Amino acid sequence: MNPVAGHWGAEPATTPVLVEAAAYNGLAVDAHQSWAFWRAELSPFVESPFVCPNGERATMCLARALGPRLSGAARSVELVRRALGQLPEVDAQLRVGVALVVSERFAPGGAEHERLGALERSLADLFHRRWPAATVRILPGGSAGAGQAVLQAVAALGGRSAEVMVVGGVDSAHGADAVEALLAEGRLFDAEAPDRMIPGEGAALLVLTTRELAVRLGWTVRALVEGAAHGTDAAVGREDVPRSGEGLSAVMRALTGQLKKRRLQLEWLLGDLTSEPWRAREWGLALYRALAPGGLDTAGRDFFQIAHDRLRVDQLPECFGDLGAATLPTAVVVAMQSFLRGEPSPARCLLVASSPGPERGAILLASAQQRRS
């Protein structure tokens, strides 16, 4: 499937703006801490209560303040509640929409699909307490789902069905069903299986609106959402088709291709690479395709080096663990805080993620302080 993509950076007046963000995860309790502890390269991995078949306790990055007894969907709801409490009040007269991504385990065929309805009601209730008339959509898209959520948010803002969109994601593997599913898939890290992933957990929420409304209400523009892409990898889940990284390559190229047209270089890439071999292979294949300078078809006339000579590449799971559906929104939080605080200080960051299933997503975020181009 070709990616569904949107890019708005060429016309700054129509570029959606990020005016606020919140986060709660196993590393930190708000957006600022998430950035600060990430910059400090903290990795608060601990032994979880869950025991692997070999007798080793599964390693996770847990929000320990929640306690071990809160698990499953109820834990995800609490993570969202704590993130939501960090957002400022929004005028009740404004039309608010919500697009929240949850784990693929809640999708049809997933290990917790039968709990999706209850989870949707609980999450909708949380948001309706804050904004009674809000339209709430829950998307079981996993790690890459925020690409789709941003596209939906931008369509709502552009079509004026919403004046403010809250986009986010939440995930937690702290639950028996989640752990059993990870064990069945051979994905859960322990001391005897280092080539697997360490689950994290968290929620992150982003408040998007138009520049026009932000100026009118006096809101601070903290970053620009210059583009988003969402697609699928047809080879995932099929044994008769080799996995060549086409899905991730396509969503990345949808955005780096726009940078090339504008003669802009990419300075920062923030991904979701874990120790899993399939992720490393996919990442390696996609990276060069997405950043290839091109120009050979026109004897060099279109040559342009997209990647900056000092391209910075970071991987979110190194500090947060695998955040699942909260991956891309948390990456936006880290990039936004970096833009505001100057550490690091590139003009743009490409955020990319691969779900365990076929979905792939990317978001292009830019500093609000950059020179308009």
- State the pTM of this model: 0.94
- 24: β partners: 203
- Say what the pLDDT of residue 153 is: 95
Per-residue pLDDT tens digits of the chain, which is 373 residues long:
456 666 555 455 568 999 999 999 999 999 999 999 999 999 889 999 999 888 889 999 999 999 999 999 999 999 999 999 999 988 888 999 999 999 999 999 888 999 999 999 999 999 999 999 999 999 999 999 999 999 999 999 999 999 999 999 999 999 999 999 999 988 998 877 788 999 999 999 999 999 999 999 999 999 999 999 999 887 676 665 566 778 899 999 999 988 988 889 999 999 999 999 888 889 988 888 888 876 555 666 677 788 888 899 999 999 999 999 999 999 999 999 999 999 998 999 999 999 988 899 999 999 998 644 4
Which residue segment(s) compose the domain that 233 sits in?
Answer: 1-373
**Contacts for 350 with CB less than 8 Å, ≥ 6 apart:** 252, 255, 256, 266, 268, 269, 270, 362, 363, 364, 365
Tell me if 25 sits within 8 A of 227, measured CB to CB. no
Q: Is 211:167 a contact under the CB 8 Å cutoff?
A: no
pLDDT of residue 284: 87
124 to 81, 115, 153, 205, 366: CA distances (angstroms): 11, 14, 17, 14, 30
> Which token pair is 93?
């007269």
Total structural domains within the chain: 1
Query: d(Cα 199, Cα 326) in Å, to the nearest integer?
Result: 12
- Model pLDDT, residue 333: 98
Output the pLDDT for position 11: 53
Q: Give the pLDDT of residue 371.
A: 46
CATH number of the structural domain spanning residue 211:
3.40.47.10
Q: How far is CA 169 from CA 63, 233, 327, 331, in A?
A: 16, 21, 7, 11
Which residues, in sequence order, are bridge partners of residue 20? 207
Which pLDDT value is given to residue 305? 85
Q: 43: which strand partners? A: none
Instruction: Output the pLDDT for position 10.
Output: 46
Say what the pLDDT of residue 372 is: 43
